[in-house]
């Protein structure tokens, strides 16, 4: 069928319109807002966040907070003070040489700390001990202190602090013999100078044996995973009742930083040793009757790096009766004759005076002891009888 002219014209118009539609420009896609626009739009929503409600503190948390608040006034910051001479002006000033932690032992102003906290060292070499310390209480006030008692064997020192007794709050004392592995403990101290830092853990082992810097061993030490670091030394280890159960002393780490294994001297040892140090100044070693030159002094003068130079011998003593020789000096103080050098004691090497004193503290008076002595270039053995000789009774006539 032939379309009518009218329908033909309409169809042709539609065909002609198709290319025109296909060639019309497409609408551009929507672009995301710029970053700057997003920032500006969201700035308008700046406002404090609503505080989420929380349940009450747990019983454990409340107990830890309470025990820390109760113990804090008993924990002190200890700074060892030593005289230092200015090589240019020759002026002598007192400067801090070491810091650590301590705790108030009793109501008479006694503070207990580790002895190594108040030890003066120069490039890792032990020079000696300080007599004066500065003790800062929890309120930030600092007071002078004096070292009145020391045990090398147990690495314990007692300080007398000249602060108002009303400001010295003794720490509650507990027991260590009935501790159990798994018990919660907290440590309070001044690690890296950060005062009154609390860490928490458990007793991770008991009955450990740890070494001191004086070549002795402390028995029945407490092992804990409460983090302790340099500066915690001398600080208290507390049980969940807030009682002292140990004094933080050492960490098991080659790098000197905590790896989760710390050791504390048990409080039962402290409760036995500290009263003796307060009363007498030291544990009573057997009397031998000689004095030695300080290790640092001997090294500076004679170049001796091991052993002890005998400086003075009391003739009426075990050392005098055994023939131990002291060095001789002339009127000007110059050495005329070198004295004996003590190299060994009871089969063990003598390194320095601190280590030797520690060994003496562990000896029972009344025993016979043997020294390895360097004399005139030869090593000989000198035997000291520590038994007090009986006095001869007068003969009756």
CA dist., res. 226 & res. 47, Å (int): 40
Could you tell me if 269 and 253 are in contact, meaning their C-beta atoms sit under 8 angstroms apart? Answer: no
User: Are 247 and 294 found together in one domain?
Assistant: no
pLDDT band at 92 (very low <50, low <70, confident <90, very high): low
pLDDT at 106: 96
User: Are 275 and 191 found together in one domain?
Assistant: yes
User: Are 271 and 339 found together in one domain?
Assistant: no
Whether residue 176 is contained in a domain is answered as no
Whether residue 340 is contained in a domain is answered as yes
Examine the pLDDT at 362 and tell me if it is beyond 90.
no
Write the pLDDT tens digit of every residue in 258-292: 577 899 999 999 999 999 999 999 887 778 899 99
User: Are 218 and 155 found together in one domain?
Assistant: no
pLDDT at 336: 81
Per DSSP, the residues of 289-315 read -EEE--HHHHHHHH---SSEEEEEE-S
CA dist., res. 14 & res. 183, Å (int): 94
Examine the pLDDT at 366 and tell me if it is beyond 70.
no
Among 62-76, 215-229, 327-341, the range scoring the smallest mean pLDDT is 327-341
Write the pLDDT tens digit of every residue in 115-168: 989 886 655 555 567 768 999 999 999 999 999 999 988 999 999 999 999 999
The domain total for the chain is 3
Query: Final residue of a domain: which of 134, 167, 200?
Result: 167
Instruction: List, in sequence order, the alpha helices (H) in the chain.
Output: 5-22, 35-43, 59-71, 267-280, 295-302, 318-322, 353-361
User: Are 299 and 237 found together in one domain?
Assistant: no
Write the pLDDT tens digit of every residue in 167-214: 999 999 999 999 999 999 999 999 988 889 999 999 999 999 888 877
User: How high does pLDDT run on average in the chain?
Assistant: 84
How far, in whole angstroms, is CA 91 from its chain's centroid? Answer: 31
Mean pLDDT along residues 291-295: 85
Quote the pTM value: 0.71
What Å distances lie between residue 149 and 229, 263, 274, 292, 358, CA to CA? 25, 22, 8, 20, 13
Whether residue 127 is contained in a domain is answered as yes
DSSP 165: G
pLDDT band at 19 (very low <50, low <70, confident <90, very high): low
User: Are 320 and 373 found together in one domain?
Assistant: yes
User: Are 127 and 148 found together in one domain?
Assistant: yes
Whether residue 59 is contained in a domain is answered as no
User: Are 275 and 195 found together in one domain?
Assistant: yes
What Å distances lie between residue 125 and 121, 128, 213, 299, CA to CA? 5, 9, 11, 11
Whether residue 30 is contained in a domain is answered as no
Examine the pLDDT at 299 and tell me if it is beyond 90.
no
Whether residue 173 is contained in a domain is answered as no
> What phi, psi does 27 have (nearest 5°)?
-75, 130
What Å distances lie between residue 394 and 287, 390, 391, 397, CA to CA? 26, 12, 9, 9
Q: Show which residues are catalytic.
A: 116, 155, 233
User: Are 250 and 303 found together in one domain?
Assistant: no
Query: Final residue of a domain: which of 167, 198, 216?
Result: 167
pLDDT at 304: 86
Whether residue 209 is contained in a domain is answered as yes
The two counts, helices (H) then strands (E), for the chain are 7, 22
Examine the pLDDT at 240 and tell me if it is beyond 90.
yes
User: Are 116 and 199 found together in one domain?
Assistant: no
Whichever domain contains 252, its CATH number is 2.40.10.10
Range of the domain at 327: 290-385
Query: Final residue of a domain: which of 246, 280, 314?
Result: 280
Instruction: Tell whether the torsion through CA atoms of 266, 271, 273 and 277 is positive or negative.
Output: positive
User: Are 341 and 296 found together in one domain?
Assistant: yes
User: Are 230 and 153 found together in one domain?
Assistant: no
């Amino acid at each position: 069928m032939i379309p009518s002219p009218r329908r033909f014209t309409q169809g042709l118009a539609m065909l002609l319109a198709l290319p025109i539609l296909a060639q019309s420009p497409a609408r551009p896609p929507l672009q995301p807002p710029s970053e700057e626009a997003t920032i500006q739009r969201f700035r308008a929503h700046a406002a404090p966040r609503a505080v989420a409600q929380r349940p009450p503190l747990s019983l454990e948390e409340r107990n830890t907070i309470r025990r820390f608040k109760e113990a804090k006034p008993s924990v002190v910051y200890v700074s060892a003070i030593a005289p230092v001479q200015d090589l240019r002006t020759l002026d002598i000033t007192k400067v801090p040489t070491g810091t650590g932690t301590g705790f108030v032992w009793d109501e008479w102003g006694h503070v207990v700390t580790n002895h190594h906290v108040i030890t003066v060292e120069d490039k890792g070499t032990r020079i000696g001990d300080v007599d004066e310390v500065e003790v800062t209480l929890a309120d930030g006030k600092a007071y002078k202190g004096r070292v009145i008692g020391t045990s090398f064997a147990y690495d314990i020192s007692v300080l007398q602090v000249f602060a108002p007794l009303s400001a010295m709050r003794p720490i509650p004392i507990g027991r260590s013999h009935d501790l159990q592995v798994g018990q919660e403990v907290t440590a309070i101290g001044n690690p890296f100078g950060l005062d009154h830092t609390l860490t928490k853990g458990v007793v991770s082992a008991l009955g450990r044996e740890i070494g001191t810097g004086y070549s002795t061993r402390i028995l029945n030490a407490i092992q804990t995973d409460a983090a302790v670091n340099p500066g915690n030394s001398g600080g208290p280890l507390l049980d969940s009742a807030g009682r002292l159960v140990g004094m933080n002393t050492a960490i098991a780490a080659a790098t000197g930083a905590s790896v989760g294994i710390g050791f504390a001297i048990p409080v039962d040892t402290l409760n036995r040793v500290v009263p003796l140090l307060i009363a007498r100044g030291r544990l009573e070693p057997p009397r031998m009757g000689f004095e030695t030159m300080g290790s640092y002094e001997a090294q500076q003068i004679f170049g001796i790096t091991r052993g002890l130079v005998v400086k003075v011998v009391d003739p009426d003593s075990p050392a005098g009766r055994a023939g131990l020789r002291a060095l001789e000096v002339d009127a000007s103080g110059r050495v005329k004759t070198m004295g004996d050098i003590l190299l060994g004691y009871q089969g063990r090497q003598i390194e320095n005076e601190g280590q030797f004193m520690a060994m003496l503290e562990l000896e029972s008076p009344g025993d016979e002891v043997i020294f390895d002595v360097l004399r005139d270039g030869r090593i000989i053995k000198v035997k000291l009888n520590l038994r007090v000789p009986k006095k001869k009774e007068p003969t009756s006539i």
